[in-house]
């Protein structure tokens, strides 16, 4: 494992074994997160983003399991650790902001106590008073109004946005080495979203924390990420530095995502959509998983799964035409950014 990378995922395969067959949720994923860097994982719902995150955290329940591959964190392969060893890493070194705050918080415990408990479990507060002070300070940092009052609230007394902010506070209060944020700003308004993204950036600078942010919101990715992976049907189909990806997307799926973004001055009566539907992961097509929706697909695309090929210094795409014509949509979206 390179000393430059905090996390390296190598050829990860995660499947869900159902009565109808084996659902290949994560197919040979390779992903690297450098130290102190914010990396994005983008794709439609059901593409395998959250399953990748849960594989890293070892939070898979039967009938899901990791079939093969390595997840290297600080030189340790997380797939080989015992449950006890993994619990020592979870929370303190790797924290996760879950997508559904209502199901992640205990409904019968006050939210302040739940966040405070993470400090006590990991021995990061000398007293109850210190733990409470740290929790209230973090509540204020994530934009929870009347933080001291909310400390004593139960989850059902808070809105969805406030519950999401409590989950963000719980994940960030330990200042982990790696923060996995699964759709962290979905339930938040744009003002609080900007505040949370700024807080993540600040923590990266202060503590050297790395972040894997999982989202379908390309605006969030453009705002905060330095590098981005695009996922489709369990495969990484493209990855590149953020400016390269937005300026010159190479994979047809990435180009479709870019073209689907509403733009000021565009036709108000027309919004581009990618044709077709995401394939059933129980019955993936033989060749490229995007071939059934791609207007440029040829016979070769339907028979052979393309390899991830280098199209630029640090730009990779899983497409036989990856080195072909650059996207006008990508250039238009990237124009004017600094």
User: Is the preceding peptide bond at 63 cis, omega within 30 degrees of 0?
Assistant: yes
Residue with the bigger pLDDT between 62 and 122: it is 62
Give whichever of 75-89, 190-204, 270-284 has the largest mean pLDDT.
Answer: 75-89
- Note the pLDDT of residue 103: 76
How does residue 64 score in pLDDT terms, banded at 50, 70 and 90? very high
Residues 6+ apart with CB under 8 A from 211: 37, 38, 39, 178, 179, 180, 181, 200, 204, 224
- Phi then psi for residue 21, to 5 deg, are 140, -175
Across 276-301, average pLDDT: 88
Using DSSP's 3-state secondary structure scheme, residue 243 falls into: helix
> 81-94: per-residue pLDDT in tens?
999 999 889 888 99
According to DSSP H, which parts of the chain are helical? Answer: 49-57, 83-89, 101-104, 111-121, 128-141, 147-150, 160-172, 190-207, 218-224, 242-247, 252-259, 299-303, 328-334
Q: Closest Cα partner for 36 from 168, 226, 196, 229?
A: 226
What average pLDDT is seen over the chain?
87
> 107-132: per-residue pLDDT in tens?
999 999 999 988 888 777 778 888 99
Burial, 292: exposed, middle or buried (Cβ in 10 Å; 0-12, 13-18, 19+)?
middle
Q: How far apart are CA 101 and CA 184, in angstroms?
A: 10
Flag whether pLDDT at 337 surpasses 80: no
Flag whether pLDDT at 315 surpasses 60: yes
**By the 8 A CB rule, do 150 and 111 touch?**
yes
Strands 64-73 and 5-18: antiparallel
- Percent of the chain past pLDDT 70, that is, above it, reads 93
Block residue for tokens 């905060």: 224
- Mean pLDDT lowest among 144-153, 258-267, 286-295: 258-267
Q: How far apart are CA 287 and CA 142, in angstroms?
A: 45
Assign residue 10 a region: left if phi > 0, alpha if psi is -120 to 50, beta otherwise? beta
Flag whether pLDDT at 181 surpasses 80: yes
Beta-ladder partners of 239: 229, 316
Across 28-51, average pLDDT: 93
DSSP character string of 173-229: TT--SEEEEESTTTTS-HHHHHHHHHHHHHHHHHH--EEEEEES-HHHHHHH-SEEE
Residue with the bigger pLDDT between 236 and 338: it is 236
* DSSP one-letter code for 58: T
**By the 8 A CB rule, do 38 and 71 touch?**
no
Using DSSP's 3-state secondary structure scheme, residue 329 falls into: helix
Across 192-201, average pLDDT: 83
Q: Which two tokens stand for residue 98?
A: 């879950």
- Note the pLDDT of residue 168: 86
Flag whether pLDDT at 266 surpasses 80: no
Q: Which two tokens stand for residue 196?
A: 């949370």
- Note the pLDDT of residue 101: 66
Flag whether pLDDT at 166 surpasses 60: yes
Assign residue 36 a region: left if phi > 0, alpha if psi is -120 to 50, beta otherwise? left
Flag whether pLDDT at 324 surpasses 70: no
Q: Where are the domains of the chain?
A: 102-175, 242-334
Query: How are strands ordered across the β-sheet holding 227-232?
Result: 94-97, 178-182, 210-215, 38-42, 227-232, 235-241, 315-317, 309-312
How does residue 2 score in pLDDT terms, banded at 50, 70 and 90? low
CA within 13 Å, CB half, 190: 3
Beta-ladder partners of 317: 238, 309
Across 173-192, average pLDDT: 85
Across 57-67, average pLDDT: 93
- Note the pLDDT of residue 114: 93
Across 134-143, average pLDDT: 91
- Note the pLDDT of residue 322: 66
Q: Which two tokens stand for residue 326?
A: 């650059």
How does residue 57 score in pLDDT terms, banded at 50, 70 and 90? very high
- Note the pLDDT of residue 333: 33
- Note the pLDDT of residue 113: 94
């Amino acid at each position: 494992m390179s000393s430059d990378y905090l996390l390296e995922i190598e050829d990860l395969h995660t499947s869900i074994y159902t009565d109808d067959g084996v659902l290949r949720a994560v197919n040979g994923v390779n992903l690297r997160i450098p130290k102190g860097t914010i990396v994005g994982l983008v794709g439609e719902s059901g593409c395998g983003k959250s399953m990748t995150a849960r594989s890293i955290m070892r939070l898979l329940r039967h009938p899901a399991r990791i079939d093969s591959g390595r997840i290297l964190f600080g030189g340790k392969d997380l797939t080989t650790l015992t449950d006890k060893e993994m619990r020592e890493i979870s929370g303190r070194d790797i924290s996760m902001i879950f997508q559904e705050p209502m199901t992640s918080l205990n409904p019968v415990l006050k939210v302040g106590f739940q966040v405070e408990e993470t400090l006590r479990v990991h021995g990061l507060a000398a007293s109850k008073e210190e733990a409470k002070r740290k929790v209230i300070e973090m509540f204020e940092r994530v934009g929870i109004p009347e933080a001291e009052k909310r400390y004593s609230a139960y989850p059902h007394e808070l809105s969805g946005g406030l519950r999401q902010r409590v989950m963000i506070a719980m994940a960030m209060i330990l200042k982990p080495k790696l923060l996995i944020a699964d759709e962290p700003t979905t339930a938040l308004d744009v003002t609080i979203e900007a505040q949370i993204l700024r807080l993540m950036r600040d923590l990266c600078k202060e503590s050297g924390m790395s972040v894997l942010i999982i989202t379908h919101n390309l605006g969030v990715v453009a705002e905060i990420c330095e590098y981005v992976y695009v996922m489709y049907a369990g495969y990484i189909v493209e990855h590149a530095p953020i400016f390269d990806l937005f300026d010159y997307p190479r994979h047809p799926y990435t180009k479709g995502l870019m073209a689907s973004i509403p733009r000021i001055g565009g036709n108000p009566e027309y919004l581009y959509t990618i044709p077709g539907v995401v394939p059933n992961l129980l019955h993936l097509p033989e060749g490229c998983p995007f071939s059934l929706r791609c207007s440029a697909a040829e016979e070769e695309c339907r028979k052979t799964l393309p390899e991830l090929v280098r199209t630029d210094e640090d730009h990779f795409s899983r497409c036989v035409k990856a080195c072909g014509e650059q996207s006008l949509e990508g250039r238009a979206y990237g124009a004017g950014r600094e």
